[in-house]
Amino acid sequence: MGYFGSDKAVVFEQPVFPQQGIARDEVMQLLTRFERQDVDDIHAHNTIQSTTLMSHMAAAQVAKDAHQMFLRRNMLYKTLLPGTTRMALEVKQMIREMLRYPQDTAIRFTSGGSESLYCAIHSARQWGRQVKNIERPEIVVPYSIHAAFSKWCTYADIKINRIPLGPDYRADVAAIERAINDNTVLIAGSAPCWPYGLFDDIAGLGEVAQRHDVWMHVDGCLGGFQSPFAEQLGHPIPVWDFRIPGVRSISADLHKHAYSAKPLSSIAFRDASWEQYLDCPAADWPDGPYTSEAICGTTTAGPIASAWAVMKFLGEEGYLELMRRSLAVRERYIAKLAEVDGVEPFISDMCVMTIRPEKGLDLFAVMGGLFERQSFCLPSLQPPAMKIVLDPVTDEVVDTFVSDLAEVIPLVRRGEITIEAIQPYM
């Protein structure tokens, strides 16, 4: 079950797998039927599509074409793919340059932010086991850190200690330090966090990590490929990266604001020797050593090719312009939402923003009314709010969402829209 329900129960009265193959044109027509049932790209920019690069469709097409060209390349077989391997190394180098990593930073590709976080936690656990003889590992993180931390700790039998946030909805650095014990292998912070779009005090957490000799990870999955450009444009954000000595690893998603095809993320290690704690060479089977880039085995080179293509197509100036547009979208939302009675924007640092309904206004009834109008957003429950993604979209997209919101709120107040409106999406 995800944000919007789970697989619908369907009774198949006839076989779905055909006895004989179907002509290509008919196959594509049938696929088009599925596609047309999905939400419209423009209205869904806040959620489902997220970063489809709608304000730069030429780059989106470049990403699509590159992905298709390399779709069948299997990154397990790098020796047989010297061209693909060179391309992947160039993407890693461009990541170093874009995110201003030290030149000797080690980078691995992953299938997405969740796998990147799994890699960070696993690396910290292995480091703790091999260097500090910790057999019952624990991690200490702020309450707002991504749910993937909890998922991997469940899979790997690691105790996770989520620490309540400070009054500013950021990590309480002092409380995190107090929660560290002899079994702590990792602490982490967000840059920014998904629930609120706020940066944690990464510098403060880095100092704590150094004092207690624990692994410090920065979850930059959301903002990693926007932060350097926001900083260049003078947007006020705190230092969050390897400029902070205590930071050992950083995750950053290319399929968000690097605008590659999905799925593609990265994890970077300040010290290349720390890659050893991620590696899991398996040789106890008939075919000898089996190694992979990260946790997944077979992965397609398609998303990596799309990242290479978009990075080359946009260049620094292109990314700066898209960041400039994202910041303009943020300001437009703030200004337009101020005109809507019954809601208040919770000002974020960047990437996402939450909209908080007035007390007594049913969050899910409001969302249901928006969904009926094909204006989609995500729920945030603590406190109750609607979440929008601050992508580089057009003014029309912003204005349509805010207009729908202004229309829905009075209807919810009068009871003409109720929580039943969202039931089809749950």
Average pLDDT in the chain:
91
Residue that wins the pLDDT comparison between 76 and 90: 90
C-alpha to C-alpha distances, 244 to 92, 235, 273, nearest whole angstrom: 21, 19, 19
Residue 225 has pLDDT above 90, yes or no: yes
* Average pLDDT estimate for 374-380: 88
- How many CB atoms lie under 10 A from the CB of residue 335? 12
Residue 304 resides in a domain = no
Which pLDDT score, from 0 to 100, does residue 49 have?
40
- The Cα 35–Cα 44 span in angstroms is 14
* Average pLDDT estimate for 265-290: 92
* Average pLDDT estimate for 192-214: 97
Q: Are 322 and 385 members of one domain?
A: yes
Q: Are 331 and 272 members of one domain?
A: no
Q: Are 321 and 263 members of one domain?
A: no
* Average pLDDT estimate for 160-186: 98
Residue 223 resides in a domain = yes
Which pLDDT score, from 0 to 100, does residue 289 have?
87
Phi, psi of 348 (to 5 degrees): -105, 175
- Domain span at 411: 317-425
Residue 139 resides in a domain = yes
Q: Are 215 and 120 members of one domain?
A: yes
Could you give the 3-state DSSP secondary structure of residue 342?
coil
DSSP state of 38: S
Which pLDDT score, from 0 to 100, does residue 46 have?
47
Which pLDDT score, from 0 to 100, does residue 53 have?
44
* Average pLDDT estimate for 100-111: 96
Q: Are 278 and 322 members of one domain?
A: no
Lowest-confidence region among 65-69, 91-95, 311-315, 395-399? 395-399
Percent of the chain scored above 70 by pLDDT? 94
Residue 270 resides in a domain = yes
Q: Are 165 and 288 members of one domain?
A: yes
Domain boundary (243, 270, 299) is at 299
**Order of strands, edge to edge, in the sheet holding 184-190?**
106-110, 265-269, 249-253, 215-219, 184-190, 138-142, 159-163
Q: Are 246 and 278 members of one domain?
A: yes
pLDDT 10s digits, 19-66: 999 999 999 999 999 888 876 655 445 444 444 444 567 888 899 999
Residue 10 resides in a domain = no
Mean pLDDT is highest, among 73-77, 190-194, 278-282, 293-297, for 190-194
Residue 52 resides in a domain = no
Domain boundary (272, 299, 326) is at 299
Residue 42 resides in a domain = no
Residue 397 resides in a domain = yes
- The Cα 373–Cα 36 span in angstroms is 16
CB 196, CB 354: distance < 8 Å: yes
Could you give the 3-state DSSP secondary structure of residue 369?
helix
Residue that wins the pLDDT comparison between 423 and 318: 318
CATH of the domain at 144: 3.40.640.10
* Residue 133 binned pLDDT confidence (cut-offs 50, 70, 90): very high
Q: Are 234 and 348 members of one domain?
A: no
Q: Are 294 and 331 members of one domain?
A: no
C-alpha to C-alpha distances, 379 to 367, 415, 426, nearest whole angstrom: 8, 20, 12
Which pLDDT score, from 0 to 100, does residue 252 have?
97
* Residue 1 binned pLDDT confidence (cut-offs 50, 70, 90): very low
Residue type, 334: I
Residue 92 has pLDDT above 50, yes or no: yes
Phi, psi of 357 (to 5 degrees): -75, 155
Q: Are 393 and 261 members of one domain?
A: no
* Residue 291 binned pLDDT confidence (cut-offs 50, 70, 90): confident
Q: Are 178 and 284 members of one domain?
A: yes
Domain boundary (270, 299, 328) is at 299
CB 214, CB 184: distance < 8 Å: yes
CATH of the domain at 323: 3.90.1150.10
The domain tally of the chain equals 2
Task: Encode burial over 171-191: b for 16+ CB neighbours within 10 A, e otherwise.
Answer: bbbeebbebbeeebbbbbbbb
Q: Are 249 and 132 members of one domain?
A: yes
Give me 118's structure tokens.
């799994």
Which pLDDT score, from 0 to 100, does residue 41 have?
57
